[in-house]
Structure 1
Amino acid sequence: MFVTLTVTLAVAALLLAAWCGFAASRNEPTKDWHFIGMAVVSVLALAQLAVGLVRLGRGEDPAEGGVIFVSYLVGAFLAIPAAGFLSLTERTRWGSATVAAGAVVLAVLQVRLWDIWGGNGA
């Protein structure tokens, strides 16, 4: 997997989690700025999805199999949009907490994707 992109996405997800977690601690729902942050993280996840699929298309194989790898890629891509949608339906502090939780899940998925690819960053 493309190590720089994976690390960048994990850090961005953790920053989003901290930001939305702070908003939840202040009893604030998600605001427009949070959605901009979610969009940035989602674009990074889309780039990761594209890079992963291109690498699979070029014949490179993940250590634990292509189906599992693609499943995790798609799950990582959908984590933040799903959390963002749920935060729209819950316009209280719990909407911010939902996005924070989704961002933490995305960061954990990055670790798992790196492991599925082989852990060597090739």
Structure 2
Amino acid sequence: MLDALTIVLAVGAVVLAAWCGFAAYRDQPTKDWHFIGMAVVALLATVQLVVGVVELARGGKPEQGTVIFVSYLLGAFACVPAAGFMSLAERTRWGSATVAAGGVVLAVLELRLYDIWGG
């Protein structure tokens, strides 16, 4: 897999988490700019999903197993959109906190994906 893409996605997730965490600290709900940030991170996760599937189709083998790799890849793909939809339901500071938590989870999933692939 592309190490650079994994690093960029993990850094983007941490930046999104810090940004939304700061909004939660200031008692603000998620705003349009936060959703644009989530869209950028979700787009990067989509690119990573495609790259991961292509690598598997070309014969690449994750060191720790294909099933666990695909499971983490799908989890990383769904993490930020799920947090974004949950923040729409909770239009208080806790919506921002939810997205911040989703960003932290995505960053951890990226580290684990890197390890599963054999980084």
Normalising to structure 2: TM-score of the pair? 0.99
Matched, 1:60 2:52: no
Partner of residue 27, structure 1: 27
Hey, what does 2:81 align to over in structure 1?
81
> Cα offset for 1:16?
0.2
Deviation, 1:92, is 0.2
Q: Identify the residue that residue 71 of structure 2 maps to in structure 1.
A: 71
Displacement of 1:3 after TM fit?
0.2
Give, in angstroms, the shift of residue 50 of structure 1. 0.3
Which residue in 2 is equivalent to 1:4? 4
Name the CA distance, whole Å, in 1 between partners of 2:88 and 2:59: 40
Partners of 1:26 and 1:2 in 2: how far apart? Answer: 36
Once the two structures are TM-superposed, the CA of residue 97 in structure 1 deviates from its matched residue by: 0.2
CA offset digits 1:22-55 (Å, max 9, x no partner): 0000000000000000000000000000000000
Cα offset, 1:87, TM superposition = 0.2
Question: What TM-score do you get using the length of structure 1 for normalisation?
Answer: 0.97
Q: Alpha-carbon deviations, 1:85-109, whole Å to 9, x = none?
A: 0000000000000000000000000
Is the counterpart of residue 118 in structure 1 residue 104 in structure 2? Answer: no
RMSD of aligned alpha carbons: 0.4
After superposition, give the CA deviation of every residue in 1:45-95 in whole Å (9 maximum; x if it has no partner): 000000000000000100011111010000000000000000000000000
1:50 aligned partner: 50
Matched residue, 1:103: 103
- Letter in structure 1 aligned against 2:6: T
Alignment size in residue pairs: 119
